[in-house]
């Protein structure tokens, strides 16, 4: 049986799909590595939340993120991401955000461990999105569907946190009723 410790990365390089060797600090490796972090963060969210609907959606997303990583691990764009993936996220967003009690205010994470875990996954996803955009801005090939997918995913992860909190009877609204404050966003009535 071969070992996971191949030693081929001992000098700070790794292989992209297709065999090209690059620095482990390259923007491309940073981008698909950040997506790997999202996969792990979603897994943690799923295990903490123990919410059947959110967990099912999250597990599907984890599988889809492997396709996102594969697209990023091809320097020449040989594996484009199917637009149906981000369209599916958009459909989930529209379905969840119209449910009663989901989008009422900005939130403060922490009153519910599962909801907070989805917020950490969301911020991890935004970091991955920024890494992918840096890669694209550097002039290297990035399938535009990858950027769209990560942008939609961050929105969906936020909503999954709210779903978990709502179903757990937890109120994490930023403002208490009748609290005045600056109107710095559309979420502020």
pLDDT at 59: 98
DSSP summary character for residue 175: S
At residue 182, the pLDDT reads 57
Question: Which whole number is the average pLDDT over 132-141?
Answer: 97
Total residue length of the chain: 189
Q: What is the pLDDT of residue 120?
A: 98
Domain-located, residue 181? no
Residue 123 structure tokens = 């911020």
In a domain, 187, yes or no: no
Residue 139 has pLDDT above 70, yes or no: yes
Q: What is the pLDDT of residues 78-116, one digit of tens each?
A: 789 999 999 999 999 999 999 988 877 788 888 899 999
Element (H, E) at 148: helix 144-167
pLDDT tens, position by position, 10-58: 678 787 788 888 888 899 999 999 999 999 999 999 999 999 999 999 9
Q: Which CATH number covers residue 96? A: 1.20.1200.10
Would residue 117 count as lying in a domain? yes
Whether the per-residue pLDDT at 68 is higher than 60: the answer is yes
Per-residue pLDDT, 183: 53
Name the domain count of the chain: 1
Q: Using CA atoms, how far apart are residues 112 and 164, in angstroms rounded to an integer?
A: 8
Residue 11 lies in a domain: no
Q: What is the mean pLDDT of the chain?
A: 89
Q: Please indicate, yes or no, if residue 178 is contained in any of the structural domains.
A: no
Give me the pLDDT at residue 179, please.
53
pLDDT value, residue 126: 98
Pairing mode, if any, of strands 13-15 and 21-23?
antiparallel
Whether residue 4 has pLDDT greater than 60: yes
Q: Is residue 44 part of a domain?
A: yes
Residue 8 resides in a domain: no
What's the domain range around 51? 27-167
Q: Please indicate, yes or no, if residue 112 is contained in any of the structural domains.
A: yes
pLDDT at position 47 is 96
Confidence grade of residue 8 (pLDDT, cut at 50, 70, 90): low
- Please state, in angstroms and rounded to a whole number, the distance separating the CA atoms of residues 189 and 184: 10
> What share of the chain has pLDDT > 70, as a percent?
90
> Does residue 187 have a pLDDT over 60?
no
What pLDDT is stored for residue 173 in this prediction? Answer: 80
């Amino acid at each position: 049986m071969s070992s996971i410790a191949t030693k081929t990365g001992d000098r700070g390089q790794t292989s992209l799909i297709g065999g090209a060797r690059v620095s482990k600090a390259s923007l491309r490796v940073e981008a698909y590595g950040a997506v790997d972090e999202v996969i792990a963060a979603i897994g943690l969210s799923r295990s903490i939340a123990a919410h059947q609907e959110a967990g099912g959606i999250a597990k599907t997303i984890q599988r889809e993120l492997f396709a996102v990583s594969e697209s990023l691990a091809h320097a020449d764009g040989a594996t484009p991401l199917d637009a149906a993936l981000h369209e599916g996220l958009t459909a989930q967003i529209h379905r969840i955000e119209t449910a009663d009690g989901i989008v009422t205010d900005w939130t403060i994470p922490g009153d519910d461990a599962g909801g907070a875990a989805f917020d950490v996954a969301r911020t991890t996803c935004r970091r991955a999105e920024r890494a992918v955009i840096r890669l694209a801005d550097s002039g290297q090939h990035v399938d535009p569907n990858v950027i769209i997918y990560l942008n939609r995913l961050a929105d969906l992860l936020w909503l999954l946190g709210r779903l978990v909190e709502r179903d757990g009877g937890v109120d994490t609204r930023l403002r208490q009723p009748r609290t005045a404050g600056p109107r710095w966003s559309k979420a502020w009535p």
